[in-house]
Structure 1
Amino acid sequence: MNRRIVLHKKKKTSCSDKIFVVLNTVFMIILVIFTLYPVLNTLVVSLNDGTDALRGGLYLWPRKWTLQNYITVIQKNNLIIGAYISVARTVLGTLLALSANALLAFIVSRKRFLFKKQLSLFWVITMYVNGGLIPTFLLYKSLGLTNSFYVYIIPGMLGAFNMLVIRTYMAGIPDSLEESAQLDGAGYMTVFVKIISPLCKPVYATVALFIAVGHWNSWFDAMLYNRMSSNLTTLQYELMKLLSSVTNQSTSVEAMKNAASSVTPTSVRAAATILTMLPIVCLYPFLQRYFVTGLTIGGVKE
């Protein structure tokens, strides 16, 4: 049996294609540099002596290494309690909010749900209209949410934007999957848990990251509703108070130079920034692999 050898000629790259590749590579390198440099510079300032940092000229490497900036931040009162509360509200708040938004999105995305358009419009309106700060505070107080851990969890369980994002993704899942499951006797909860949710891992991961970042960075609600309770403070609120106290101590350069401590507001602010963003930076690589699409391709049998 004769074998035919087919030789494929390599496609010649035109001059315009080469120019595009070069320009695109240069542009992406510049974009990466502009994106990473502020973070690296903040890290350098946080690891450098505060008084020495006042001279300027710090770019990608510290001149005088020190951990005093981080020690100052960590030794702040109530910081451990704030970190514990922040982790608890981030984990619990993310799980409950994701579950609530996913359930509501599943209901609204079903074609046989009669009031899906009206309910979707209602949620869109809530994105632009709210009762205001004082009515919200009075409402939470009347519900007994002030001076309580639940004020971090319950008000943020449902979010219009997150629900609409999940609903849009669910609407793109073929109806044949749900119909096949229902023919086999599956109910709506079974369809949601075993059919829809496994296909929604990418959007779940994305929304979960949005919610987790919002909980982790939140400090305003702690100041409004749990200001009098030190056991319910959050890490961000404690860091905000630390920055405010350090900044208000003395702002003159000479006073900082003559101070016995090598810590300055700029160096403390840099250390607090790094500590704040570190957990989210560590979490993102685990969720990045879910940021893909097309999981439903091939899921429908013809």
Structure 2
Amino acid sequence: MKERSLSGTAFDISNQLFMLIILAVMIIPFIYIFSYSLSSPNMLKGGLVLWPEGFTFDSFKRAFEYPAVLNGAFISIARSVLGPAIMLFITSMAAYVVSRPDLLGVKFFRRYFIFTLYFSSGIIPMYLLMGFLHLKGTFLIYVIPGAISVFNMVLIKTYIEALPKELSEAAVVDGANDIKLFFRVIFPICTPVFAAVVLFDCVNQWNSFMDVQIYNTMYPQLHSLQYVLYNMLNQFSTIEQLQEAGNRQRGSITPQTFKMAITVITILPIACVYPFLQKYFIKGLLIGSIKG
């Protein structure tokens, strides 16, 4: 018993040390980026920066002085709110439909949806389709193509199938049809999996810029924040370019601190939202994996 106790204690200690190393590997880069973006270039001496040297917001001020940043932030926030909301509404209803075993042809519909996970039309046919639907040059290009997500539909379907069947049977006995059953019984108790898929889609919408580059590159008013910051990184790659763009304090901003500030701007909103959805996110992914 003593030997097993010692071995168990050794395992626990080694496991905790390993997890601390993993935690440090994940957190230190974020601390470095955040600290570097708030540091004055004149105070930086190279090496790992874990605390701001010569605290300053000059890099952030310069980033937000760029006219397209605020418009890009509005577009990114709008698509990160409307896109997941529309996706959740349509995808959840599709998941409910394919979860009904008594639906005529349900096996065909399930295979039809799964087929799209393995095969896609490609960029050129998609581009032609968006042009035919007159979605290019509009905000709808960001939300309509992603209104249905088969991967999220599978997650929601699995969650619904894991719910007690007595709930649906009781609602049907009380006279509820499929619409009332879904919106009054199923929908309210699917919060964990809904939070998981919404977080997936929010992150995807916030980080997306390829659709802007493909469809709306000629429409600056529809550029997302990620695409605007991407262009800023390419445009302001030297100190001289930063000076010409309007920075009056020589040495207060360098391309490196400017890039770090832009990186913080892009990751901070998601980092602030994630902790509030984490418990639902984990529960939503694990639900249905253990039964009995």
Aligned position for 2:178: 188
Q: State the identity as a percent.
A: 36
Using the TM superposition, give the Cα deviation of residue 190 of structure 1 relative to its aligned residue in structure 2, in angstroms: 1.2
Q: Give yes or no for the alignment of 1:240 onto 2:233.
A: no
Instruction: Give the superposed CA RMSD.
Output: 2.3
The whole-number CA distance in structure 2 between the counterparts of 1:92 and 1:28 is 37
Q: Give yes or no for the alignment of 1:37 onto 2:28.
A: yes
Q: Give yes or no for the alignment of 1:49 onto 2:16.
A: no
Deviations 1:205-244 (A, max 9, x none): 0000000111111111112211222221111110000011
The whole-number CA distance in structure 1 between the counterparts of 2:113 and 2:42 is 51
The whole-number CA distance in structure 2 between the counterparts of 1:248 and 1:221 is 28
Using the TM superposition, give the Cα deviation of residue 176 of structure 1 relative to its aligned residue in structure 2, in angstroms: 1.7
The whole-number CA distance in structure 1 between the counterparts of 2:266 and 2:196 is 20
The 8 Å contact of residues 213 and 280 in structure 1, kept in 2 or not, is answered as yes
Using the TM superposition, give the Cα deviation of residue 42 of structure 1 relative to its aligned residue in structure 2, in angstroms: 0.7
The 8 Å contact of residues 51 and 264 in structure 1, kept in 2 or not, is answered as no
Aligned position for 1:62: 52
Aligned position for 2:198: 208
Using the TM superposition, give the Cα deviation of residue 62 of structure 1 relative to its aligned residue in structure 2, in angstroms: 2.4
Using the TM superposition, give the Cα deviation of residue 51 of structure 1 relative to its aligned residue in structure 2, in angstroms: 5.8
Q: Give yes or no for the alignment of 1:77 onto 2:70.
A: no
Query: How many residues are aligned here?
Result: 278
Give unmatched runs, 5+ long, in structure 2.
242-248
Deviations 1:64-117 (A, max 9, x none): 322111112111121111111111111111111011110000000111112222
Q: Give yes or no for the alignment of 1:25 onto 2:19.
A: no
Tell me which protein shows more helix as a share of its residues: 2
Give unmatched runs, 5+ long, in structure 1.
1-12, 252-258, 297-302
Amino acid at match of 1:144: H
Q: For 1:16, which of 7, 28, 33 is the aligned residue?
A: 7
Amino acid at match of 2:33: T
3-state SS, counterpart of residue 56 of structure 1: coil
Amino acid at match of 1:66: T
Deviations 1:6-55 (A, max 9, x none): xxxxxxx82222222212221221121111111111111111124654x4
Amino acid at match of 1:190: K
Alignment of 1:1-302 (within 5 A): 14-50=5-41, 53=44, 55-247=45-237, 260-290=250-280, 291-292=282-283
> Which is further off, 88-97 or 109-118?
109-118
